[in-house]
Amino acid sequence: MELFKSMNTNAGGNSSNSNKPVEKVKVLILGSGPAGYTAAIYAARANLSPVVYEGIQPGGQLTTTTEIENFPGYPNGITGNEMMEDLKKQAQRFGTDVRFGIASSTDLSSRPFKVTIDDEKVIEAEILIIATGATAKYLGLESEEKFKGQGVSACATCDGFFYRGKDVAVVGGGDTAAEEATYLAGLCNKVYLIVRKPYLRASKAMQERVMNTPNLEVLFEHVTKEIVGDMTGVNGVILTNTKTGEDVKKDISGFFVAIGHQPNSDIFKPWIETDEVGYIKTIPGTSKTNIPGVFACGDVQDPHYRQAITAAGSGCMAAIDAERYYAENK
């Protein structure tokens, strides 16, 4: 699910903004995952009166995960939703103004930075913290597009419920795919994990969990050729065994894509430097972007770690960098 609109970049297009109401804020934070809320907690405690726009997926990607067992301080684990609710409350406790709304375009050509929200109003911010996260990728098959929402999903924890007792497939070989496959195995009759390589990229612990789940079958060296179905939705998938070249059909009702993510940086691209994938470049060891006063944190700038704890840490860095910048450039 997209956190922030990417279709209307409207770079520098301030003329269309001329009739929109304008609100001035000190610190604007875009995104409400662990990075955005941690930045908000620190910025609020530093008297920077942050305003957070939550984006399309309030709480970010963690709200689509089940149990989080590796965030320090939770010996018994915590659900993604609970953690994000707690982070939001903590940010609000110190005065963060948390709002529904989606950033639809930006003009970062000069300070104050202009961010249009929902195509309706313009926020002029002295400081901008970008914490817009990343969005799930799809395979790009026509049949995948056709059955989106009718058997094709990128979020097992959101949609797995609908496939209780049925057979499903998950594509991908990383931690997300392994996690989603084991989660689905608890709900479904049978889960196929379709992996294009002869091995999983997931962590050893997740690999063990996959291999020890009896109703989960890993199909190594298989790629998806076509998702098949009818008016009622998906009823099968045709896979190609890349070793033998043979096609095989599996009868399934649900097809879950878990092949990684795309950073949500499109609306900033005219101004902010990104790498070739779209991850925002920051000066190493800081949250500083190429524009002084604009900081980035969390998955939108992190192609490597992408953990809740690293996102939270980088959100803290962004707020501290912002505080110092504000003190020097009031």
Residues annotated as part of the active site: 155, 158-159
Which of 82, 79, 86, 83 minimizes the C-alpha distance to 65? 79
Q: How far is the CB of 221 from ligand NDP (least distance, A)?
A: 10
Residue 321: phi, psi to the nearest 5?
-60, -40
Q: Which of 260, 270, 278, 313 binds ligand NDP (CB under 6 A)?
A: 260
Q: Measured between alpha carbons, how far is 172 from 150 in angstroms, rounded to an integer?
A: 20
Tell me the CB-side half-sphere exposure of residue 231, using CA atoms within 13 A. 0
Least distance between ligand NDP and beta carbon 305 (Å): 6
Could you write out the DSSP letters of every residue in 262-293? EES-GGGTTTS-B-SSSPBP--TTS-B-SSTT
HSE value, Cβ hemisphere, 13 Å, CA-based, for 99: 14
Whichever of 206 and 267 has its CB closer to ligand NDP, that residue is 206
Q: Does 272 bind ligand NDP (CB under 6 A)?
A: no
Does 263 participate in binding ligand NDP (rule CB under 6 A)? no
Question: Is position 95 an interface residue for ligand NDP (rule: CB under 6 A)?
Answer: no
Cβ 36 to ligand NDP shortest distance, Å: 18
CB closer to ligand NDP out of 49 and 207: 207
Q: Closest distance between ligand NDP and the C-beta of residue 172, in Å?
A: 4
Minimal CB distance to ligand NDP: which residue? Answer: 174
> Facing residues of 234 across strands?
229
Residue owning tokens 């063990």: 208
What is the nearest approach in angstroms of ligand NDP to the Cβ of residue 296?
18
Buried b (16+ CB within 10 A) or exposed e, 48-80: bebbbbbbebbbbbbbbbbebeebeeeeeebeb
Q: Residue 14 has which token pair?
A: 């301030």
Choose which of 259, 267, 300, 322 interacts with ligand NDP (CB under 6 A).
259
Answer for which of 196, 225, 269, 281 binds ligand NDP (CB under 6 A) is 196
Residue 29 or 171: which CB sits closer to ligand NDP? Answer: 171
Residues in contact with ligand NDP by CB under 6 A are: 70, 139, 171-177, 179, 196-197, 201, 259-261, 306
